Each structure stands twice: as C-alpha cells, then as structure tokens.
Amino acid sequence: MLTQAELDVTTLGERTLPSPLHLASSHPGYPYVPDGARVRLRVELPEGPEAALSLERAGPRERLFFRPASTRAALLTTGGLCPGLNNVVRSAVLELHYRYGVRDILGVRFGFEGLNPEVGLPLLPLGPHEVTDIHRMGGSFLGVSRGRQDVGVMADTLERARIDLLLVIGGDGTLKGAHALAAELQRRRARIAVVGVPKTIDADVGFVDKTFGFETAVEHARMAVDAVHAEATGARNGVGLVKLMGRDSGFVAATTTLAAEDVNFCLVPEVPFTLEGEGGLLAALERRLRARGHAVVVVAEGCGASLAGAGAERDASGNLRYASADADIGPYLRDAIRAHLERVGLPSTVKYIDPSYMIRSVRASAADAVYASALARHAVHAAMAGYTDLLIGRMHRVFTHVPLALATRERKRIDPNGELWHAVLEATGQPA
C-alpha cells in the first residue's frame, strides 16, 4: 500500500537565499508556492488510508538553495526522440538566464554518454543565442542515446565539472538512470540537484497525468489512420493497417483510435488477442469485410512481444527491439491477414503504414510546446530551490513534485476494465 512518505521529496538542504524573481511585487497575482502546498493524489477520494495522500505542489520558491550568480547548470536529453525536447531545453535555458540570472549553462551531448569522458563529448555552452530557434525543429538539439552508463563515472564528471544542478529530460529508462545518479550523489553528500522532466509519447510515466509529446504523436498518427482509411475504402475489400509506437502501454494506439473515428480493430499490449479461430482477429476481420467491404486495424508495437523468442534482438538499453524481424508485429500481421483472406477466397487489398519514426521526430504541436515549456520552468524552479531526485509531474492539471523512485516503480498502462478501453470498444465495435 502506498504511504505518504513515498510521496515526499528530497532537498539538498535549507534554503536561505532570496529568489531574484520578486514575484510578490512584480506578479502579485502569481505568488511563490509555499512548501506546505499539496495536491491530492486522488480526485475521487477512496475509502481508507489513501484518501489523504498528496503530492507537493511545484512552482517558484521564495528562498533558494543555490546562489544564481555562481550556479553552474547542465541539461541533457536521452532515450528516444520525442516532440518537444527542444522546447524544454530552450525554455529551461531562458528561465535560468533571464529570470534567475544564471550565466553558466551547459548542454550534455547525446544523453548520459556525454557524462562519460571515454566517449569524448565536450560539454556545450548554452545561452539565449544558442537556443534561439531550436524550438522550431523536431528531434533533439543536444542529441540522444540509449544504454546504461556507470553512475560513478557520471557522478565524477558532474563533480569535476563543478555542476550544481542537472536537468534530465527523458522517459522511464532515463528517469531510472537519473534516480540512480541522484542516489549516488546523495551517497557522496554532493550538493548537486538532479531534476527530471518526463518525456515519452507512450504516456506511461507513473503519477503523471500527461507527458509532453503525446498529443503531437497522436495528431500525426491520426494522419496515418486517415490515409489507410482512404486506401481501404478505395479498394474492394480493402484493409488498412497502421502500426504505432507503444512498447508496454497502448495509449497512443487507443487515443489515435478515438481521434480518428474510423478504426475497426485496435490492438494494444495490455489486452491479449488471438489471430486464429472463430473468436480470433482474422475471423472477425473477414466478417467485417463481407459485411462492409473495408476495415482499418491499428496495432501498438508492443503487441509484438508475443512473437519474440529468447534470442530476440534488443537495443543498448536492453529493451526488445520491436522493429527487428523477431518482434515486428506490423509486417507479421499484414502477412497473416493477406494469407487468411487468400485462404478463404476473399479478394482483397492490404495497405500497411508504419509512421513510428515520423510521429516522434516532428516539431511539437502548440499544446505540447506550451506544456513542455511549463515543465521546463518548473524544473528550473525546483532545482534552484535545491530539490533533487524528483521529476516535475502534473496531477489534476496542477504541476507537482514526484519522487523519481516512485515515478519509475512501474509503468502506467491501460486498464482493460477502465474508461479509456471501454471507449475504444464503443468506438470500434470490436469484441472485448
């Protein structure tokens, strides 16, 4: 059972320095956030001990831990690409430079690799000039990488470079690395703050109601669904198949299905399905074609886990490589559909689209740009106040501080009995 102690966050020490933001006089309607401000974990309060659980509210503090004039800050992005990475970097740099007066800001190149001297990537000086236009681009201005680095080596690099605060922008694996790094620094009693910004189009970070990049991914994924729907309806017994990202969680596939309103079958990792037999997908698809003459199928990449054997290819972080021949559900499903329809003598056309790398590398939408920038500012507020080993989350539309140990304990997944999946079943008409 979750306890309040698990929701409490860590600080480096007492805050004794006045903030340079002067919100009381310059922004009287936007006051500093007191340390005691909390956000309830649950809106629908359950009976029992969890009814009173709460997260600390994020926001600017009146007193700081770090002296801005002598603070050295660093930022890194790592993991997979995601719309909004550059927005976070730019907004954090501008907040540090203009609002707090921090002039010593560094970019760590290619994720955690940039903290390993053996890789040989020098730290990149950052300021307003260097980040002027990066929000207009997709991808990552600083670069990303996968794979673990030795936390001791990374801690050594931060201490040697005299870094005071590190903003880590990434998803589940990245945030686990940030937690391990923060724990090592605390073990050394190093006064270095590590603050995470949750990034993933999969929307699977725990205790966070929204991650940046998700809305952009869904919008571009809907374009792919619109395309295969046009292809499917333009051919006799046409089938449109779209594979979308979603390693362990099918939020992109499910939400795209609801947004497109033309999907007949949505397959996600959280809900098992079978291909063969009267109750399988192929038989249901055949019935749909005989009745309506076309069909659209959306599948999340994580459904390919059932295909992978013990020797399946994995990436540098140890994750199953869903684009590999061993686990790629898209081509497998395409070929299975073609073979079944040919076997039952139903002339058909199957069109397959995999927009995975397109939807994660584009420029952030307006909504994601706004959200990413807000996360960046709150990350700077937290770090300057001396908070560490936490990420900036949001709960009930209020920004919060979430301990990294808690947020990375388990991935957020679709509840097969929950409202989202019920909506998918209603929208598609597919069997439960």
Active site residue ranges: 202
Distance, in Å, from the CA atom of 146 to the CA atom of 139, rounded to the nearest integer, reads 15
Torsion angles phi and psi, residue 245, rounded to 5? -65, 155
Torsion angles phi and psi, residue 35, rounded to 5? -60, -25
Distance, in Å, from the CA atom of 278 to the CA atom of 404, rounded to the nearest integer, reads 46
Distance, in Å, from the CA atom of 338 to the CA atom of 232, rounded to the nearest integer, reads 14
Distance, in Å, from the CA atom of 385 to the CA atom of 388, rounded to the nearest integer, reads 9
Q: What is the largest CA-CA distance in the chain?
A: 78
Q: Which residues contact 292 (CB under 8 A, 6 or more apart)?
A: none
Which residues partner with 165 through β-bridges? 73, 193
| Residue whose token pair is 């500093």 | 32
Q: Which residues contact 6 (CB under 8 A, 6 or more apart)?
A: 403, 405, 406
- In three-state secondary structure terms, 246 is coil
Q: Which residues contact 325 (CB under 8 A, 6 or more apart)?
A: 313
Q: Which residues contact 376 (CB under 8 A, 6 or more apart)?
A: 87, 88, 89, 90, 91, 92, 95, 167, 197
Tokens of 367: 């909504």
Helices (H), 234-328: 251-260, 281-292
State the DSSP H helix or E strand holding residue 267, giving kind and residue range, or none if neither: strand 265-267
Neighbour tally for 32: CB within 10 Å: 18
Work out the burial of residue 279: count CB atoms within 10 Å of its CB; fewer than 13 is exposed, 13-18 middle, 19 or more buried: exposed
Tokens of 417: 């009995």
